[in-house]
Chain A
C-alpha cells in the first residue's frame, strides 16, 4: 500500500536534503568537536525482524512488570511488539497510524521537525520505519504509562526511529521512551526523531531513558516538545550509555500559561562521547521554565552539555532558569557545561548557572568524621548529587532503575575514582 501523499512528499524533500548534506562535524569554541568520521555509514542497514510474543530479555529487564496503557517495541527497523488494550488512547506503530488514521497524523508529523535540519534529521525523515504514534484524546487521564522502546541488538544496524505524541486538551499521561542495546560487537546507528505536542491544559510526565551499552552505537537524534496554553510538561531525559551521542533536545513553551520542567542527567564512562544541546524556548509571554541538568564523567569519556534559554520578542513576563552541573570523576575525563541566554525582550526573569567541578573535599571529610569510609562517602555523594534529578522522574520503578545503574557505574569506576580523589587528599 502506498503511503499517503503528504508523507511521500515529505520523504522526497528529506531525501533531497539528505543527499545535499555532508556528514557533519560539530565544533564549538574551545576543545569540543563531535565527529562521525569513524562511523561507516554505508556499511549499516535497516535490519528487519519478525514480530514476537515474548519481549526480548533486555526489554523485560528494563520495563519490569509494571502494567502499561500501551507499549511499542521497535527492533532495528521493525516493530516487533505493539500492544494497547486501553480503548481510550491510540498507541500504534507510526507506519500503521499513517495508513489507518492519516487525518490524525498529518497535522502534526514534523510540525516542529523540519526535514532540512542537517544530514541525520533528513535521513530520519526520509528513511524512518516502524515508529510510534501516541494519541491521547482530550480530557483523557491515563493511570498507567505509555512506553516506547527502540532496541538495537546487532552490529551493522541503522535504526531510523520516529515517535510522534499528540496529547489532547486537558489530557494527563506519562510517557517513557527507552533506547536500549545489549553489548554489541561493531557499529550501529540510531538516528531518532521525537516530537510531542501537549495541547492546552494537558499534563505530561515524559522520560527518556538511554542506555546503548558498551557497543559502538552512534546516536544522532532530535527531540522536541511543544507546550500549549496552560499545559505543563515535566521532561526528564536520562543518558546512561552510548559510544557517541549527539542530541538536540528542545522544549518550547508556545502559548501563555505554559510551563515546563526539564531535568536531565548523564553518566559517561570509558571512551564514550556525549554531546547535548538543549534549548528552552519561550515563544509566548507568561510562561515558566525550570531546567536542571547534571552529569558525571569517568574513564576517558567526553561530555559536553550546552543549555540555551531563548526568550523571543513579545514573550513578556516569562520566568525561567537553567542550571547545569558536571562532575569529573577521573583524571582523563573531560567535559564542559555551558549555560547560555538569548533574551529578546524586557520584563522577564531568566537566570542561569553552570559548574564543572570535582567532588567537594569538605563534604568527603565531613562524612568521614562520621565514620563513613572514604570510598563509601564518594559513592554516596555522587548518588546524592544526582538525586535531585532522579526524583524528578516521579516514577518509583524508573527511579530505582536509574539509581541502580548509577551505582553500577560508580562501582565499575571505583579504582579510578579512588585514584583521582585520593591524589588530591
Chain B
C-alpha cells in the first residue's frame, strides 16, 4: 500500500523539468524531499495532483497500485491524495467553512450533517489554535503567509487523506506556528497514512522526523538516506551534493 512514482518525466512547455523521478512512499512512512530552488520539487507535487500545466511525457503515478497518471485532479483527491500548496490559490467569495464543507462532501456519498461538520471543524481548529472568526473569511483572501499555511493544514486535517504532500508548509511560519503545525501533522501520522514533506529547513524535520530523506537536483533524485542526511545537508550545503553527482558521472 503506497504512493509510487516511477520514472516520471515532466515538461512545462518545451522544457523538461523532471527527468526521471522514482520515489515510493509506503503507508505509515514519512519522507522528506529537499533540494535547491528550481530543482523541481513543486513540479513533482503539482504533477502528482494533475496540474494541467505540467505534461507527463514518461512514467507513472500509482496509488495503492492504481494508475492515476491520467486522472483528473478531483479524482486523485477523492482517491486519497492531498497537496498542501507552497502558494495556495485565493478563492474569493467562498468562506473557509463553506469551502471545507464542499471538500468534505465531495468525498462522501451523503452530505455531512451540519452539526457533525461543526464538531469536527471545531476540534481541528482547537488543535491548530485557529480562531473561530478565521473560518468566515474568504479562503486565502488577504491571508498572511502564515495564515495561508495554516488554512492548508486545516484542510489536511479535515480531509484526512491517505497520502499528503506538504510543499514548504514550514516556510513563512513563525516558531510557535511551526510547532503547532508540526504537532498537527504528527497527530495525523499513523500506519494508514503516508507523508512527503518538501522543505528547505531541518527545523520542521526535527519536529516531524522523517524515516527517509531524498535530495532532488535538476529534476532527479540524486541521493537518498535516513534523517541524518538532512543534517549533513544543512552542514555542507547543496554544493557538495552537486560535486558528488558530478564525480559520479
Binding site for B on A (CB under 8 A): 360-363, 365-374, 376-377, 380-381, 383-388, 425
Contact = CB atoms under 8 A, between A and B. Distances in A.
Contacts of A366: 85, 88-89, 91
Given A366-B85, A366-B88, A371 B93 contact: no
Given A368-B77, A425-B52, A388 B103 contact: no
Contact of B159 (A365, A371, A388): A371
A387 B93 CA distance: 5
B241 interface: no
A306 B53 CA distance: 34
Given A361-B52, A368-B72, A369-B49, A380 B89 contact: no
A365 B73 contact: yes
Interface in B77-122: 77-78, 82-83, 85, 88-94, 99, 102-103, 106-107
A363 to B, nearest CB: 5
Contacts of A367: 91
A373 B138 contact: no
5 contacts: A363-B90, A368-B50, A369-B77, A388-B92, A388-B93
Contact of B106 (A361, A372, A383, A388): A372
B57 interface: no
6 A-B pairs with least C-beta separation = A384-B93, A387-B93, A371-B106, A368-B73, A371-B77, A366-B89
Contacts of A377: 74
B92 A371 contact: no
B74 A368 contact: yes
Nearest to A388: B93
A384 B51 CA distance: 22
Nearest to A382: B93
Contacts of A383: 93
Contacts of A360: 89
Given A363-B91, A369-B76, 10 more contacts: A363-B90, A369-B83, A370-B74, A370-B102, A370-B106, A372-B74, A376-B102, A381-B91, A384-B92, A388-B93
A266 to B, nearest CB: 16
B155 interface: yes
A251 to B, nearest CB: 24
Given A366-B85, A425-B52, A373 B74 contact: yes
Nearest to A387: B93
A147 to B, nearest CB: 27
A374 B74 contact: yes
Nearest to A386: B93
A369 B103 CA distance: 9
A373 B102 CA distance: 10
Contacts of B52: 361, 365, 425
B8 to A, nearest CB: 18
Nearest to A366: B89
A384 B138 contact: yes
Contacts of B85: 366, 369
Contact of A370 (B50, B72, B90, B159): B159
Contacts of A365: 49, 51-52, 73, 89
A381 B90 CA distance: 10
A383 B94 CA distance: 8
A374 to B, nearest CB: 7
A371 B89 contact: no
A398 to B, nearest CB: 17
A372 B102 contact: yes
Nearest to A367: B91
Contacts of A374: 72, 74
Contacts of A362: 89
A383 B91 CA distance: 11
Nearest to B46: A365
A287 B52 CA distance: 48
Interface in B151-167: 155, 159
Contacts of A381: 91, 94
A372 B94 CA distance: 13
A371 B72 contact: no
A365 B97 CA distance: 19
A363 B85 CA distance: 12
A363 B89 contact: yes
Nearest to A373: B74
A383 B107 CA distance: 22
A361 B82 CA distance: 18
Contacts of A368: 50, 72-74, 77
Contacts of A363: 89-91
A370 B164 CA distance: 12
B186 to A, nearest CB: 23
Contacts of B74: 368-374, 377
Nearest to A361: B52
B79 to A, nearest CB: 9
Contacts of A388: 92-93
Contacts of A385: 92-93
A370 B83 CA distance: 9
Contacts of A361: 52-53
A371 B43 CA distance: 20
Nearest to B81: A369
B222 to A, nearest CB: 28
Given A366-B89, A380-B102, A384-B138, A371 B94 contact: no
A373 B91 contact: no
B77 A370 contact: yes
A360 B78 CA distance: 22
A386 B85 CA distance: 26
B109 to A, nearest CB: 13
Instruction: Identify which of A360, A369, A374, A380 gathers the most chain B CB atoms within 10 Å of its CB.
Output: A369
A375 to B, nearest CB: 10
A170 B85 CA distance: 51
B73 A369 contact: yes
Contacts of A370: 74, 77, 99, 102-103, 106, 155, 159
Nearest to B155: A370
